[in-house]
Structure 1
């Protein structure tokens, strides 16, 4: 049944439009906007028509508008997801007006929530596209608001979760007083209708499917898939468990090939790079490649005493002094002659020595003997023990400088440098950050049983401007926190990434269309002073404001709630609470 429509208040949209003059950007929520001369866009349309021809240019503009509308449909759900279906849908027309596309007036709208079918009719007044066409190319014989038409189709399709196509029945560029559009679900249009000659339906279906992967039932208020209780038992290392692609290491294919061949040959490898650049990731990748099913043993050489490190790496032999009688008995009962170290534990597999620059010189000599002869002595031991394992060492230090200073054995360095690579820090490969972030977000979403979220434009720009001293490890921690803070929503904004980051100074749009410093939601200072001097208490102010909104809306609680930025149940609760207060 057709419903007469009235646009709801747009204060929730206006407060999202911010002009950050210091950083030279304009934001609508978390999406970056650009002020462009309508005349320039008109010249671009004219050039497209001249270069591509009418049909190709129209198809391109319709597709571009469709993609823009899809994004705004996601935005509408996030903004008014707890309000009525009509109010959520009308975010699209209201955004079109805020963005300067046209003045949108709803004529009728029919949404069948059971079948998912849609019929809607709107008029556009002062369409920039019609005006630009008239200015650049003169009067047209057919409707020409293709960007706006594509937007209407994309927005409604994204909102409904199924393809909806709009047709422009009349256009100001043809001499009509205003533009008039009609939209229907694709199955409601008659076969062979003129609307099907406008659109590449197969392409639009593909765009809609890609957009809808993050949406559940778009006709229900719960757009997002909430997290289930508790994470999975899988423990995710933000570096070590990432999908293995060369882009994650910042290495060239030839470097990876060299490492693979050296690992197969059993040649010691040296991985250099700052903390968090993926050295352990790369070591594990090599292990899976050449020693899958065999041990991967890791030892961090930092933070241990010389003796403890000797025991950890090479093991400990059974001693014969009286003080070790209990230990000797224990080893005898276990059928061993001492305690094995990491080298023995890595037999047939891979030994990964992290922070090898902290290995004492005497232990460097022992390690060098093992690399030469394949044998070593345990701590306090005298019997050589043979072992076979692949060695991968990593460091964040300049081993060449340490060797020159006498703090690292030159010969050991030469053996390790036979095949070595340096992993670049994240700040030197920021072009890969969007891909890395997408990979990590998908993994953390799987860990917390939520749909994979995406980054808003503002969030991505913020990530791109961070120093990332902790490299991939730091990026992983930031993104995991963001997945937790969003609670399973499909869009991560800057506030989820960096909750304590202060906002840049900005100007905002008032209800009269002018710019003002700061947040438009702030009350004028003189009004605040008047309220304070009046002696009226805060509960009384709230009570009077609620009553006034209901009176202004003629008793319509839904309309009053919209004016107050509340849901209808929230308003009803506050009214009930207010009425129960003693006089």
Structure 2
């Protein structure tokens, strides 16, 4: 049995500022009701508030998105605290300032941090660390209710530790919780490493790079714009900025209007991004945007849409409901939704943004009445085939995002690669471009630029390769040149590579891959020698 922890050891352990010094820096001013820590205002609240927030977020967003939200919140908080320590104690040794994170974390009351080991080198941007977290506030709810979680639950604290360390190392440091009291362990155990130390394909590192640390680009300089539009501008990343360029003027015009918007176009053109921009640019204090898939629209949602809001004169900036795949709304529900949308407009209900895939046909489809109710404000996002002169620019913005997810350095495109990308029509739009660039990056070696031959080799696997310069079968020529030079061409191997690419594009689904190739499932299964027979 472990001996009780001596309070003095916790209060005075480590360098400055110690927990005792942090305590002495707290001031409560009864005249204005403010609490400050070394001059910065802080607030005090019960842990039940955080538990309630977590439950409400999970109810509205689901577990996955809630985890991302809380980890990002923790990451930003950790970064902020690192800057606070540097500013408040400017003469601190860098090592003390860095390790102050563990003391500040303990001082916050959310967990008691015990260092197992913490080895680091600021100059080389290297870190390996292990900590035990005792009495975690995030894990307490699961532990006390005797309903252990199947996965670690200290999401905000993981984000905090990663954000604090990343700020000091000026590179991404990722902490993982390998044991959690919320799972039934005696305490929480976390490991920290430089992002690259976890491996190029690590899913948690990819999550951090794509969702946790991704920050919007600053708003462009120029004349002062309306607050809502400026907010939408700040929400745009580089890829969004390029994808939405053809419809930005329309988006800025429609964003402040508290009316339904029908966003049409094919899958992969950027319709969801357009909807997100509309919501973010609708007002300064926009709340949440709920995503509902068309097949899930029911009478209960219709009643919610029709229910009067807090004010009959509703202003943009309230709740937004995004209906994804409006053409899939059950036919018997569509007339009720039409009436609900009309009642919601008059009564101050939520704003409706509907995504319509105009290329989809068949039942139930979008009725004339529902289309009329939604299409007073309409935006059509053009396909990549209609975006001549812009396709290479999209690829240039997309490439670093894919490379970051894969954990590799992003190479540039040479002139011939840019030409291949620009000349291809990309019937699958962004999804197809992402798939091709991902495959190219996976096989790209070294730090040299991506060449036209690499792009052409992947495009040649598609059903409709481009013809550059009017030369027949130009898409296959570079590939065949390479094969002839290597003198190792094997038609069976080439066929197998086509089957593998089809399976990759279909996410491992054998039936979907067979449809891409114009084969039956049994034919494809036979041709890949039964290796994927168990694939759904």
TM-score (norm 2): 0.37
TM-score (norm 1): 0.34
Structure number with the bigger relative contact order (C-alpha 8 A, sep ≥ 6) is 1
The higher radius of gyration belongs to: 1
